[in-house]
Structure 1
């Protein structure tokens, strides 16, 4: 029972980790809200699914999905820079518009990937729980590579500039940092990561759906808060951030898996997501100051610390 729960948590939780990392980048490092991630998640899934059905190799299909999400982030950034629309409002507009784009891309509400050569095709043919274990191993490898690449980027000179612009934009501009270019970069990166998650989720569950990203931002924000509250391993601030996002993502999915195993209807999972976010915010407000005394994670930004 416990083993099955943990396996289900890995299989359903790991695909969301890149999207939650993207949400963290905008929410914590840029101190902004970008709802485009919901639309880019579904768009990435749609582009991945359609290209797979068209016979494109799986990894190229995933790459195409990532590019589509990054382009969505670029459009959001341009709405902010050229039309002076706040990022929150620009993201909301893009999220609504991307619903139509995703539906047009799919051609119908749902596209099945059953029988297609996905990145999990090699392990999916194994019997029983071995298929889930193999899928978890592939997903874990992808997540480790993606997280390592993002951590390496954030500790680079450009990444340090990005973190500084989020912590203190005025100071960063005074040091010659191009804040507009960094806004474009951060939104493209966040939405590319979200689209990557969409492509992975579509292949794990065997279909892409136009409504599959509803509530993603709320879920990601809750997972980020939960992970940051509970995790404070040693090492750099960037590494703590990456571990906190991954732990928060898996804990969030564990809550949903347990809810289903206890017989809760699937239609109630959004309520569970809302409750999880509520509890995470309340715990952050009331417990973080106490836990910080024992060097347990806090959400206090330390964007410029390597």
Structure 2
């Protein structure tokens, strides 16, 4: 029982850090209504940039800022390929992802960089407060999540942010109003991948190493967090609550993974478990909606 509780505590800490990545995926998947498959690459890029800088004794916070900038560049490339070169969004993301694999290897100089002997924001906070590293990760992660959601809520209420959201809903209408939808899309891709790289940098510092393959499956994890969050929150809910639901979805996903691993699931089957979980989460709303429709029809027939 104690091992499961410890695993859930770890799931909470990791769920908060990975939730930032899920918020980035939400921008392209829901707000822009497109698929950005460069997420796996930009997540690893954020981790790679942070790792190489920290291993060269750069301040961990500066390393995070550099990682965010690198993610924004990756997003710009994807957006440029999609909007200016007229390459489909999915293919643009794949091309960027493939490129980033080689770029990440160039950045790190090797496939893996250990960081256990170097300072990071979680270790520094733990040493200054006297609490354990896992709890410091939870506290810092929660603070960052609140800040990120607050900034996103503010930004997407501005003129540029509203134009970006409207572009995903009805691009033709937005274009008829004189808005440059290509510009809005590029901004969206940049913000999304900046958040993804931000998450990668935090996860790297938390786990104590960066690996060139650390982003593998990130897009699926992000989608799982979004879908689980949407299952738990009704349609029409205000924007801030939708963003909070994604964070909760990330924590639920990480908790589910932690529990099944404690129950003896082979780690090789983790990707299969994720796929099944996402499929169930996607199917659940359809089943509920169909059930509600059938009940409505029956009630009308009885009347």
Instruction: Answer whether TM exceeds 0.5 for this pair.
Output: yes
Deviation per CA, 1:45-92, whole angstroms, max 9, x where unpaired?
000000111111011000000100100010111111222101110001
Deviation per CA, 1:215-252, whole angstroms, max 9, x where unpaired?
11112112211110112499x62112211211111111
Deviation per CA, 1:155-210, whole angstroms, max 9, x where unpaired?
12221111111111111111111101101100000000000010011011000000
Compare 148-157 and 117-126 and name the one that shifted more.
Answer: 117-126
Shift of residue 118, structure 1, vs aligned partner: 0.5
2:216 paired with 1:194: no
Shift in CA distance, 288/97, structure 1 to aligned 2, threshold 3 Å: farther
- Corresponding position of 1:296: none
Deviation per CA, 1:244-292, whole angstroms, max 9, x where unpaired?
2111111111111111111212222111111111111111222256689
Compare 119-128 and 269-278 and name the one that shifted more.
Answer: 119-128
- Corresponding position of 2:179: 177
- Corresponding position of 1:273: 274
Superposition CA RMSD, Å: 2.1
- Corresponding position of 2:151: 149
In structure 2, what is the Cα distance between the partners aligned to 1:221 and 1:40? 16
In structure 1, what is the Cα distance between the partners aligned to 2:20 and 2:28? 13
**Secondary structure of the equivalent of 1:32?**
coil
Partner of residue 86 from structure 1, selected from 64, 74, 88: 88
- Corresponding position of 1:237: 238
Alignment coverage as a number of residue pairs: 291
**Secondary structure of the equivalent of 2:113?**
strand
Partner of residue 216 from structure 1, selected from 205, 215, 218: 218
Structure 1: stretches of 5+ with no match in the other structure: 293-306
- Corresponding position of 1:301: none
- Corresponding position of 2:137: 135
- Write out aligned runs for 1:90-129 (5 A): 90-125=92-127
Structure 2: stretches of 5+ with no match in the other structure: 294-303
Shift of residue 6, structure 1, vs aligned partner: 3.1
Shift in CA distance, 129/265, structure 1 to aligned 2, threshold 3 Å: farther
